[in-house]
Structures are given as structure tokens and as C-alpha cells.
Structure 1
Amino acid sequence: MSTTKSKQKTPKTHKALLKTPDLDKPKLSFYKTPSKVLSFDAILSWYFYWIFLGVLSSIGLGSGLHTFVLFLGPFIAKVTFLAHECGNTSFYTYGPKKFICRDQSNDYLTFTKIYSKVFLECFFWGAGTALGELPPYFLARAAASGKTPTKTSKNAKNADNFSSKLKKKATDLVLVVLERYAFIGILIFASIPNPLFDLAGIMCGHFGIPFWTFFGATLIGKALIKSGIQSSVVIFAFSKEFVDVLIKIINNVSPNLENVVSDFIEAQKTSMAGNLEPEKTNFSIISAAWNLTILFMILYFLVGLLETLAESYQKTLESPKKTL
């Protein structure tokens, strides 16, 4: 009887030993894939990548790199295409198994399902664009620190003869909106894609708008409203319904062109679904031209950024001489 009792008690100890954690497994695992586990630093680097692209898009006083057209827009289009091809959004957008259909189903795809799939990437990209607007604000704030607001406002309204009337009216409009409405005015300028927001950032720093008023409105406008509008347009433009309507319109104009466009779309869908490898030989010239375009735009951005830094440094060297 004693031997039987000991045999019955031993499995409990074995179960306790089986519950001990495996030291070989990673301790931080937030995003699991079928083959590997992405750690926290991989997720952090992924979203920091979009923040960096957002900074490149807005920094440089209008000469920034158009990272939405080059990176975020194609990413949203790829997610939209694959969602309609798979019939669901249960696929990974980054990692070793990214953009591969795990299962195909005929679920009803809504706009919110696709938008929620790309929301974080759009948000962090927009947050990066808001961070890129800070250097003009701080430079203008530092330049206007030794001047009175009354003198600077008179100088701003008395534009030189070389400036055009349209530019003067736009400057006066931005100035009036910032003086009267502050947070709401900055939010409106940040939410709508326009080339005047760099001017708004400079004026906010020049006329002493508080930092959190400027940055808070800029962050909400760019990270939530502006990126939401742009991503919604891309999702709608690359949805299955809109693509079918576009193919019908092309068919009415030229049936041969319709065949080329439809074949290209089907090839992209099958390659993104993971069923076929993308045909690199057919589009080698296009990919090479695209890479060269991106390279030239990056070089142009770097040259413009170096010029603005050199001009600001030259002004700091000349400012003590003028005061003397």
C-alpha cells in the first residue's frame, strides 16, 4: 500500500516541474508570428521608423521629403489590396511573415477594419510631421527673443516691394488667424495639407505663442485629422469597388489598356497574397527608376537642409555685429 501511495504522489511533483518556465524562450513577446516572435524592441523600431519618416516629411522649411507619397501611401494601398484579396485583415503588416494571407474568407470588409489596420502607422507618421515643425518654431522664437512684439508686427505688415501681393495677403491671413484664434487656427492649418504651415510655425514662434498651444494643436491636426484624411483617400482609391469602376472606365476608353491594367493589378494581388513571387524581371526598369527618383529626392532634401542650417548659422554670426 505504501508503494501505491508514493506512486500516486509522484505525478504532482512532475506536474510542478513541468510548470517551470523555459529559460530559452524570450521574456518579452508582444507580437507573435507563425514562425518567430517579435520582441518589444522590434515593435519599437517599427513605429520609430514611421516617426522618422514623418520628421523627414516636414523638416526643412518646405523642402522636406514627401514620405507619404513614397512610403506611407504605398503601404496603405498594399494593405487595402491584400485585405480585399484575402477577404479579411488577419494578416501581419510587418515581421518575417508580413503581407501573406493566412486564410481566405468572404468576411464583409468595412472601412473601419482596413483603417484600424493602418491607424498606428498613420498616427506615428503624423506625430513625426508634428515634431518636424518644431525647429522653425524654436528658431523664430529665439530670433524674436530680443525684440518687442509691436515692432515686429509692424515690420511683418510692411512687406517689401519685392514680395507679391498674394504672398502678402496669405501672410496677413495667417497672422490674423493666429492672433485671434491661436489653438483653433493652428489646428485648422495643421489639419489641411497646405504649404503655409511652415509660415504659421515661424509666426507662432515669432509672436510668442505658447509651446503647448502650438505643439498640441499641431499634433492633433497632423497625427489624427490630416493623416486620417489622407489615409482615407488612399483606402477609398485602392478599394475593390473603386478599382472595378476605374477598370470599366478604362475599358470604355481603350480595351487594350484595360487588359494591361487588369493584368498588372492581378499580378500585384497574387504576389502580395503570397501565392506567387513578384516578377522582378518584368519591372526591373521601373524599380530602378523608382529607386533613382527616391535617391535624388533624398539628396535634394539633404542639400536644402544643409543650406538652411548654413543660413541660420550665418545669421547668428552676423547678429552680434549688428547690435554693436
Structure 2
Amino acid sequence: MVPLGLRRKHKRELEKLTLTLQPFKTLKFFTLAILQHVNRSVVFIFTHGFLLMLLTTAIMAVGVLLVTDDGPHRKHVEVVLEYLRFGLWWVALGVASSIGLGSGLHTFVMYLGPHIAFFTMKAMQCGRVDIKSAPYDTIQLNRSPTWLQKDCSEFGPPMFSSPDGHEVPVSSILGQLQLEAILWGFGTAIGELPPYFISRAASISGSEGDEIEELDGAPSNTNQLKRWFLSHAQYLNFFTILLLASVPNPLFDLAGIMCGQFGIPFWKFFLATVIGKAFMKANIQTIFIILVCNNQLLDWIETELIWTLSFIPGVASVLPGVVAKLHAVKDKYMAAPPTESSNFKVESWDLSFATLWNTIIWLMLLNFFSTIVSSTAQSYLKKEHEKEMAALKKKLVKPNETVD
């Protein structure tokens, strides 16, 4: 029996092991954990995957040669690199969205949602959807799409029009944004794998995951909902996982934990998650943003809202002025950026919304990496605690054996 005081001591040490409270100790354990993982990986590669390592090295050498060597293939290599950068960017945002950037912030709200909204408004403004220079012409880190600041005359005459203005079909806009949405959704599916693997490893070792242990703590509405979910975990199958992944679901992490705990096969869990998140949920969210930013839908909502509010006494006389101001704001936002006609330069601070936004993003990324470092260090310390308790148990058992 391990003394209760030792368990409490270990718990306090884990709680204090963060970069803010114990930076040097945290970095020390983080470094030891990384070295331990590297050592295990090297041993595994040399014992099981030597041919795979040779093949990977050969592919990397050919890639470096193609990138550094000038020739007729250079243009094709650059295009391939652009596609790789584009794919990795949106997949990485999806992964970051699943883990919340360490602060619970959704990258759909930060990147994919605004990208869909800007493209939809630009397509509605110009009356055409072929405004990208290439499929990878999207919002990326420190890079804006080329079509965002262009005048509509640079794309040519409108392809879609109606007596009331430009009317672009939702399906045409969706076709131009679907690749980004699917890649982002695929990234969110990858981001759901760590809870599954951690829970599966805990199940194989005969212990429970931290999430399940937390349910035994103080009661709360969230814990009650999680307990209900746990009690119905026997109904988890391919279609149940698919349904849970296809809708916004803050408890899907718990679904991954339950699938790992009850031995749901990996490919069943991952395939259902990919289909639900990449091909259903991401497309539903994309269509919703397109509909919200579609002028015809906004005009219909405005008409119905004005008709409803006109029955309220005193509101009918105020509505025309409010509607006129809203139209002025919308027209100003949808208008093309003015061209610079003056050579007069004014010195000013280079402080813009984009600069502030990027600063916020970098701060959240730092918070995210800080969380990773602290979690890795705590995991290493927890294993050391387990070794210490195992050694103590052996010492307590040995005297009993001698007495017998």
C-alpha cells in the first residue's frame, strides 16, 4: 500500500511543474522526455525499419536535389511545393483547431471562416468565381490571397448576373472552397487521434485515462453529461461515431477516449471521424458561411425582419434610417479598395488590424507550445513517480515474504 502522503506530494509536484512556476525544471524534464523519445525511435528504426529509413533518406535526397538544381523542372517543382505548403497549412490549422491552440480557440473562426466569407463577398461583387490565380491562392500565414485586393475589372466581365445584380450559385462558390474545407476537416480528424491512442494504451495497461478519472471528482453539468455519455458508450459503432463527428460536438474528445478504452478498431474510428469531419461537418459549415455572406439571403432576411418589426409601435418610423445606414456600411465594405492617386507620403506607424491580429495569433501559438512543453514534462515526471511507487511497493512486499 502506497502512503497517501506520497500520492499527495506527487500530485502537488505535477501541478507546480509548468513553465510559469518552474521554468528550468520544466525545460529539464521536457528535454529528458524528448531525448527518451528520440532514443526509442532510433532503436525502433534500426531494429524494425532500416529499409524504410533508407527509402525515406533516398526520397529526401532526391527532393533536395530537385529543389536546389536549376533546370526545366524547376517551375514544376515550385508548383508542387506550393501545393504542399497549401495542404500542410490547412491540415495544420485543422489539427490546431482540435487541440484549441492551448486556449480553446477555433481556427475555423480565425482563418477558414473569414476566408470563405471574403471569397463569397468577392465572388458576389465580381459576379464570377474564377478569381483565384491557382487552387492554393488562399489565406496563409503572413500571406494574403492575390484576389482579395484586385479590382473586379481585372477578372473580366461578370459570368453570373440578374436584373437585381450579381447572383452567383452557392454550388459554384462551394466548388472553389471545398478543397480548403476538406483539408481543414481532415486536420481536425487527425487532431482527435491523441485522446484515442492515450486511452487505448491506458486500456491495454489496465488503467483508466485522466478524463475518466476526473469524472469521479466534483459534480458539474459537464461531468454529468460526460457520465451519461459514458453510460451509453456501448452504443458506439461506425455510424454513431460518424454522426458525432458530423456535427459541432464539444464532447467528441470523450468519444475518442471511449473508443480507445473499449477497444474500437483504429480504422473504424479514424475512417468515421474523417468522413464526418472532413466531408460532412466542414462542408456544412462552409455552406452556412456562404449562405450568410450571400447578398440574396441577406436581402431576404432583411425584408422579413423589416416586415416583422414594422408591426411594433414606434419602430416603423426608425427603420428607414437604420436600414439606410446598414446599406451604407455594407456598400463601403463591399466596395473595391481605392487606388493610390497621390504621391504625397505621410509618415505613420505601421499599425494595422492585420498586425494586431498576427500578434494575437503568435501569442496564442506561444501559449500552445508552452502547454505542450508543460504537458510533456508532466508526463515524464508522472512516469518517474510511477517508478518510485513501484519500487516502494517492492520494498513493502519483501519484508512480508521473509516473515512467511
Q: Same fold (TM over 0.5)?
A: yes
Aligned length: 282
CA-CA distance at 1:298 after TM superposition:
2.4
Q: Matched residue of 1:175: which SS?
A: helix
Find out whether 1:54 has 2:94 as its counterpart: yes
Find out whether 1:261 has 2:317 as its counterpart: no
CA-CA distance at 1:160 after TM superposition:
2.5
Hey, what does 1:209 align to over in structure 2?
A: 264
Structure 1 unaligned spans of 5+: 1-22, 30-36
Hey, what does 1:70 align to over in structure 2?
A: 110
Distance 1:109 1:283 in 2: 37
Distance 2:349 2:232 in 1: 52
Aligned 8 A contact 1:54 1:67 in 2 = yes
Distance 1:295 1:157 in 2: 33
Aligned 8 A contact 1:60 1:305 in 2 = no
Aligned 8 A contact 1:60 1:308 in 2 = no
Distance 2:355 2:83 in 1: 30
Distance 1:48 1:158 in 2: 35
Distance 1:61 1:163 in 2: 27
Mean CA deviation greater in 311-320 or 222-231: 311-320
Hey, what does 1:315 align to over in structure 2?
A: 382
Measured at CA, do residues 145 and 62 of structure 1 come closer, stay the same or move farther in structure 2, by a change above 3 Å? farther
Q: Matched residue of 1:39: which SS?
A: helix
Deviations 1:284-307 (A, max 9, x none): 553344333323332332333333
Alignment counterpart, residue 114 of structure 1, candidates 173, 177, 194: 173
The residue type paired with residue 264 of structure 2 is I
CA-CA distance at 1:25 after TM superposition:
4.4
Root-mean-square deviation (CA, aligned residues, Å) is 3.5
The residue type paired with residue 160 of structure 1 is D
Distance 1:161 1:136 in 2: 20
Alignment counterpart, residue 163 of structure 1, candidates 194, 219, 223: 219
Measured at CA, do residues 226 and 252 of structure 1 come closer, stay the same or move farther in structure 2, by a change above 3 Å? farther
Measured at CA, do residues 243 and 287 of structure 1 come closer, stay the same or move farther in structure 2, by a change above 3 Å? farther
Alignment counterpart, residue 178 of structure 1, candidates 223, 229, 233: 233
Alignment counterpart, residue 157 of structure 2, candidates 96, 104, 116: 104
Percent identity, aligned pairs only, is 37
CA-CA distance at 1:112 after TM superposition:
0.9
Distance 1:158 1:97 in 2: 49
Distance 2:214 2:172 in 1: 52
Aligned 8 A contact 2:102 2:371 in 1 = no
Distance 1:246 1:282 in 2: 40
Hey, what does 2:242 align to over in structure 1?
A: 187
CA-CA distance at 1:83 after TM superposition:
1.1
Aligned 8 A contact 1:178 1:186 in 2 = no
Distance 2:87 2:368 in 1: 22
Hey, what does 1:90 align to over in structure 2?
A: 130
Structure 2 unaligned spans of 5+: 1-69, 138-144, 161-166, 307-318, 341-347, 394-404
Measured at CA, do residues 38 and 79 of structure 1 come closer, stay the same or move farther in structure 2, by a change above 3 Å? farther
User: Any residues of structure 2 matched to 1:8-87 within 5 Å, and which?
Assistant: 25-26=72-73, 29=76, 39-59=79-99, 63-87=103-127
User: Any residues of structure 2 matched to 1:198-237 within 5 Å, and which?
Assistant: 198-237=253-292
Distance 2:327 2:147 in 1: 29
Mean CA deviation greater in 109-118 or 38-47: 38-47
CA-CA distance at 1:242 after TM superposition:
3.3
Aligned 8 A contact 2:186 2:278 in 1 = yes
CA-CA distance at 1:230 after TM superposition:
1.1
CA-CA distance at 1:211 after TM superposition:
0.7
Distance 2:186 2:93 in 1: 10
CA-CA distance at 1:27 after TM superposition:
7.0
Distance 1:60 1:137 in 2: 17
TM-score w.r.t. the length of structure 2 is: 0.60
Find out whether 1:306 has 2:362 as its counterpart: no
CA-CA distance at 1:229 after TM superposition:
1.4
Q: Which of the pair has the greater relative contact order for Cα pairs under 8 Å at 6+ separation?
A: 2
The residue type paired with residue 103 of structure 1 is G
Aligned 8 A contact 1:62 1:198 in 2 = no
Distance 2:349 2:323 in 1: 22
Distance 2:249 2:382 in 1: 28
Distance 2:110 2:334 in 1: 22
